[in-house]
Homo-oligomer: A and B are copies of this chain.
Amino acid sequence: MNDQTRLSLEEAWTLSVDVLEQNGFSKDQAAAIARSVVAAQRDECHSHGLYRLLDCVRTVRYGGVDPRAVPEVADQAPGVVSVDARGGCSLLAFETARQPLIEKARATGVAALAVNNAFHFSALWPEVESLAEQGLVALAMTPSHAYVAPAGGHSPLLGTNPIAFAWPRPEGVPFVFDFATSVVARGEIELHRRAGESIPEGWAIDGAGQSTTDPSAALAGALLPFGGHKGAALSIMIELLAGPLIGDRLGHQTRPADGSGEGAPQHGEFILAMDPQAFLGTDAETRLQQAEALFEGITAQGARLPSQRRHAARARSHSEGVAIPAALYAELVQLRDGEAQT
């Protein structure tokens, strides 16, 4: 079961696009999704890599995403652009609205993008990184389904609500972080359950609101926010900004598509872009250089920058390609060839 299949980045790309198009995704939707999952696989973020193609196909079959949706951009205000994903995946919607967002940020200094009515499964860092590659500072957040209890509470209410940030660096790749506001991802607990292992104290509570080390009890209970009441506060902020502020759902108002007909997986994403040129004018270059003192201060202590491990993986993948489990590869090939999903 530990057999790995190695693919070049080009092979990973072609396989991803073919799986998606074979399963009903339009050419544009498929390309946007493939860009995200191949980037995640390349950076060895396995949980957001090619594995997620299975989710995409499953969600189409359950009616939880429109695979041929054409996103629609709307100008809300001088500093606000929105894009209606129209039930499609968030990724094409983001790509469609990225240039209008960049133009607004350059014109006003700071601009927001609201992505609405989207199926969202992807990592946020490729999106903020793509904005930082254009010289902008970017922040993104999205709710997820309600798996996390508020600090001091006992039942799932908040999503795992990730937040991502990117800062342009004068040389090399941007500084980027992207983390869930739960202590761990739900998938991490699922992996412990499958392996028959207990989970550490502090990750989750059971259905009665008590601390548990049993992954099955945790999955029936709730994850805990990272950092206690501080992480929970941040998670609430994410729900509010990427929900009501942009006219979209709160985490607990969504449900994964599961074939029951009661799924409501679609929700919003909130992205902010800031242009250092607008803040700093001709000082922008000097000030971006000043920020390097902070990064150097961190690495000089032997501490790691948040994106450091991903960037090392990226360099490796460009020369060596990526490795995915052979079983996953076989399943993707079946999906590409039009066979039933197991």
On A, residues with C-beta under 8 Å from B are 76-80, 82, 107-112, 114, 137, 139, 149-155, 157, 165, 167, 175, 177, 179, 181, 226-231, 233-234, 236-237, 239-241, 243-247, 250, 252-253, 272, 274-276, 278-281, 283, 287-288, 290-291, 293-294, 297-298, 301-304, 306
Are A157 and B298 touching (Cβ within 8 A)? yes
Chain B nearest Cβ from A299, distance in angstroms: 9
Q: Are B110 and A272 in contact (CB under 8 A)?
A: yes
Q: CA separation between A236 and B308, bound complex, in Å?
A: 14
Q: How many copies does the complex hold?
A: 2
B80 touches A79 (CB 8 A): no
Q: Which residue of B lies closest to A163 (CB)?
A: B234
Instruction: For A279, list chain B residues within 8 Å (CB).
Output: 76-77, 80, 82, 112, 114, 245-247
Closest 6 CB pairs of A and B: A227-B227, A77-B109, A79-B108, A153-B301, A153-B303, A80-B109
30 A–B contacts, CB within 8 A, in A order: A76-B278, A78-B78, A79-B110, A80-B108, A80-B109, A80-B278, A108-B108, A108-B111, A110-B272, A114-B279, A139-B237, A151-B303, A152-B301, A153-B301, A153-B303, A154-B301, A175-B236, A177-B236, A226-B230, A227-B227, A243-B290, A243-B291, A243-B294, A244-B276, A244-B291, A245-B276, A246-B279, A246-B280, A247-B287, A250-B293
Given known contacts A78-B78, A279-B77, A297-B252, is B233 in contact with A306 (CB within 8 Å)?
yes
Is there contact, CB below 8 Å, between A77 and B297? Answer: no
**Other-chain residue from B108, B154, B288, B294 in contact with A250 (beta carbon distance below 8 A):** B294
Look across to chain B and name the residue whose beta carbon is closest to the beta carbon of A248: B287
- Cβ–Cβ < 8 Å partners of A240 in chain B: 137, 167, 175, 291, 294
Nearest B residue to A151, CB-CB? B303
- Highest count of chain B CB atoms <10 Å: which of A110, A276, A298, A303: A110
A230 touches B227 (CB 8 A): yes
CB of B179 within 8 A of CB of A287, answer: no
Contact A78 B150 (CB under 8 A): no
- Given A179-B229, A240-B294, A250-B290, 9 other A-B contacts at CB below 8 A? A78-B109, A82-B279, A137-B240, A137-B241, A150-B297, A157-B298, A226-B231, A244-B290, A247-B287
